[in-house]
Amino acid sequence: MTRISRISGFSVFLLMLAPPLSALANPHEFKLANGLKVIVKEDHRAPVVVSQVWYRAGSMDEYNGTTGVAHVLEHMMFKGTPSVPAGEFSKMIAAAGGRDNAFTSRDHTAYFQQLQKSRLELSFKLESDRMQNLQLTDREFAKEIKVVMEERRWRTDDKPQSLVYEEMSAVAFKEHPYRRPVIGWMNDLENMTGQDARDWYQRWYAPNNAVLVVVGDVQPKAVFALAQKYFGHAKAKALPERKPQQEPDQQGVRRVNVKAPAKLPYLLMGYHVPVLKNPEQDWEPYALEMLGGVLDGNESARLNKALVRDSRVASSAGASYDAISRGPGMFLLDGTPSEGKNVAELEAAIREQIDKIKQDGVTEDELLRVKAQVIAAQVYQQDSTFYQAMQIGEFETAGLSYKALETRLAKLKEVTAAQIQEVARKYLTDDSLTVATLDPQPLEGKQPVAPPKGLHH
């Protein structure tokens, strides 16, 4: 992708903000009698289709003692039904020239297939079957839970930065279930049973807790008819009441230090911030997205320029913020100190950059460049049918409408320099800050771990 910082001229900026013609066609929405929401977006540029089934059930819906069960069930969804034996789901998709996978997050669990458009019916047939008829045997569970435990070792236990993030979340959140890792605590995985997975499946896997998203070279009426044929007979369920689980206000800096075998130290800072709840009226989440762009995103962004290139206090430094989630938000800053520097010096340097924004704000030229960068990234995702579907699914399972995607672009364009300065002053304060550091330990005897076999990610 062309670096946004090299582009000048207001006319070019406006051109970049214009979405491709395919993105201008509104998605079509339909709801089955059993509560399944079907959203179809036409994109006729290639004879392919992406089909995704999103369940509004992620790790935030788990109970203590069964952390990781949402992700375990994702693995078990490939273990067969009476009509499709274990392991055959992916083979059938591959034989049809397609690909499939799944992913679990704090907020949702999703399953997808990418196929030639004429094979969409196969996707619906297979997904509707495992939505209703999954076989969760103790024998298959006993094998798969070992894969998940190995995945935890590979993704988290043997990756120091992942450990730091896990520890920071556990300290930053006291009440909210975001404090628990999506992969689950190892002790819970070791003591999990097939019945735990069966309970999760029975509790959450229902058409009235799901969204079917289809994007590609399709006709909406034909897709709705197929959805009715295959998903229409799935029975709705009475879903459990979801408690608010509001995170109490933080009172002062929280710190955690993680000792783990690693080559270099690492710093992670997290501030509690709001997320998007009312796309039409909210403005702070959009300003926070732009603040993230000011600090990170290209070579001219403040953290890279000031910390990596100029002062060389860091070998890398970044910022991230996700405005779309069911639970509370976090504005994250992280970095690795340069050789001869330590995490305390890096933290001081990051704080200095934040203070400059609080005191002096951002320039209009900087704002223009960042708007081009942030908004173009949103628009470029429309080039991919997969990411078009991803955006729709993420918005819907977060409790927002896919219609808010257009609102989001318009609101990002409206963000002012004063608003960026205001959210920095309001939210990037010590009272909402958690700092996690990695204290590197000797690497003696540590061997790189290969990813576990059968990993569905």
Residues whose CB is less than 8 angstroms from the CB of residue 352 and which lie 6 or more positions away in sequence, other chains included:
none
- On whether the pTM is more than 0.85, the answer is yes
Does residue 386 register a pLDDT over 70?
A: yes
Question: Residue 379 burial by CB count (10 A; 0-12/13-18/19+): exposed, middle or buried?
Answer: middle
Does residue 368 register a pLDDT over 80?
A: yes
- Averaged over 54-83, what is the pLDDT? 97
- Averaged over 407-432, what is the pLDDT? 96
Split at pLDDT 50, 70, 90, the class of 456 is: low
- Quote the percentage of the chain above a pLDDT of 70: 92
pLDDT of residue 11: 32
The residues annotated as belonging to the active site are 74
Does residue 138 register a pLDDT over 60?
A: yes
Mean pLDDT score across all residues of the chain: 92
pLDDT of residue 329: 97
Sign of the alpha-carbon dihedral angle for 69, 70, 74, 80:
positive
Split at pLDDT 50, 70, 90, the class of 381 is: confident
pLDDT of residue 447: 57
Do residues 178 and 56 make contact, with C-beta atoms less than 8 angstroms apart?
Answer: no
Split at pLDDT 50, 70, 90, the class of 190 is: very high
pLDDT of residue 245: 87
Tokens 């800050």 label which residue?
433
Does residue 12 register a pLDDT over 80?
A: no
Do residues 400 and 226 make contact, with C-beta atoms less than 8 angstroms apart?
Answer: no
- What is the per-residue DSSP string for 214-277? EEES--HHHHHHHHHHHHTTSPP--PPPPP--PPPPP-S-EEEEEEEE-SS-EEEEEEEE---S
List the single range of 40-44, 76-80, 177-181, 377-381 with lowest mean pLDDT.
377-381
Does residue 19 register a pLDDT over 60?
A: no
Does residue 231 register a pLDDT over 70?
A: yes
Alpha helices per DSSP H over 153-219? 160-172, 186-190, 194-204
> Which range has highest mean pLDDT (4-8, 10-14, 89-93)?
89-93
pLDDT of residue 396: 98
pLDDT of residue 450: 55
Residues whose CB is less than 8 angstroms from the CB of residue 70 and which lie 6 or more positions away in sequence, other chains included:
57, 58, 59, 61, 62, 104, 109, 182, 200
pLDDT digits (tens, 9 = 90+) for 287-312: 999 999 999 978 889 999 999 999 99
pLDDT of residue 285: 98
Split at pLDDT 50, 70, 90, the class of 375 is: confident
pLDDT of residue 449: 53
Does residue 13 register a pLDDT over 80?
A: no
Question: Residue 17 burial by CB count (10 A; 0-12/13-18/19+): exposed, middle or buried?
Answer: middle
